Structure 1
Amino acid sequence: MEIEKPETKKCLHCAKPITGRLDKKYCNDYCRNSYNNQTKRADDKQIQKVNSIIRKNRRILKTLCPVGKATVSKEVLDAMGYNYRFLSGVYRSPAPANLVYFICYDYAFSPLNEDGKDMALIVKKEDHFDQFLENPWLA
């Protein structure tokens, strides 16, 4: 009578046969680290892309607003490559101003229209913004 050998497990990273404990998944620490780093890199790629865009938007706002408050034309933001689709928060100021600020970490801008020209009021984020950050469940 022939005894069946259990199927040899293979390393998830390099596919070499694994010896040792039955629940072992990798042949050594290098393979375990490499496999986990590759998996994490793939999972985090979209997050890194979005964070990179928001950081670029913040740099643009910071460059245009060296003293805490500035007004620039939308054309300037466009020329510098500002991406309006990505932000870290939204703040609606209370009446009477009723401005909407689009936040990129610690800088924000509010779209304005002055004499038919699209402008942006850029500000360094203030502490009171946190009290009125847009909450979709309370809207």
Structure 2
Amino acid sequence: MEIEKPETKKCLHCAKPITGRLDKKYCNDYCRNSYNNQTKRAGDKQIQEVNSIIRKNRRILKTLCPAGKATVSKELLDSMEYNYRFFSGIYRSSAPSKLVYFICYDYAFSPLNEEGKNMALIVEKEDHFNDFFENPWSA
């Protein structure tokens, strides 16, 4: 009667044989860290891409608004490749203006239509923006 040898486990990162505990997954700390970093990077790729776009949008708003408040044309935002689909929050101001601000961290813009021209009011984020909670289920 022949005794079967248990199958040798291999490191999840480098595929070298593992010795030691039965539940061990990596041959050393380097492989464990590398494997976990690689796995995390793959899972967070979309988050990193979206965050990168929002940071770029913020840089554009900050560049165009050195004094804390500015009005610029939509064409200028377009030429700087501002991406309107991505922002970190929304603030709706109360009457009388009822402007909607699209926030990118600490800067925001509100679309305006002045004399038939598409414009954007850019502001440095104001404290009261944080106090407002936008509930998407409330009418």
TM-score range, shorter chain: over 0.9
Quote the residue 1:83 is aligned against: 83
**One-letter code of the match for 1:2?**
E
Deviation per CA, 1:29-62, whole angstroms, max 9, x where unpaired? 1111111111011111111111111011001001
Quote the residue 1:18 is aligned against: 18
* 2:44 partner SS: helix
Quote the residue 1:39 is aligned against: 39
Q: RMSD of the alignment, in Å?
A: 1.0
- Structure 1 unaligned blocks of 5 or more: none
**Kept after mapping to 2: 8 A contact 1:89/1:133:** no
**Kept after mapping to 2: 8 A contact 1:90/1:133:** no
Quote the residue 2:93 is aligned against: 93
**Kept after mapping to 2: 8 A contact 1:61/1:122:** yes
TM-score scaled by structure 1? 0.96
Q: CA deviation at 1:130?
A: 1.4
Quote the residue 1:115 is aligned against: 115
**Kept after mapping to 2: 8 A contact 1:103/1:109:** yes
- Structure 2 unaligned blocks of 5 or more: none
Aligned residues: 139
Q: CA deviation at 1:138?
A: 3.5
TM-score scaled by structure 2? 0.96
**One-letter code of the match for 2:126?**
E
* 1:101 partner SS: strand
Q: Distance in 2 between matches of 1:112 and 1:134?
A: 21
Q: CA deviation at 1:137?
A: 3.5
Identity %: 87
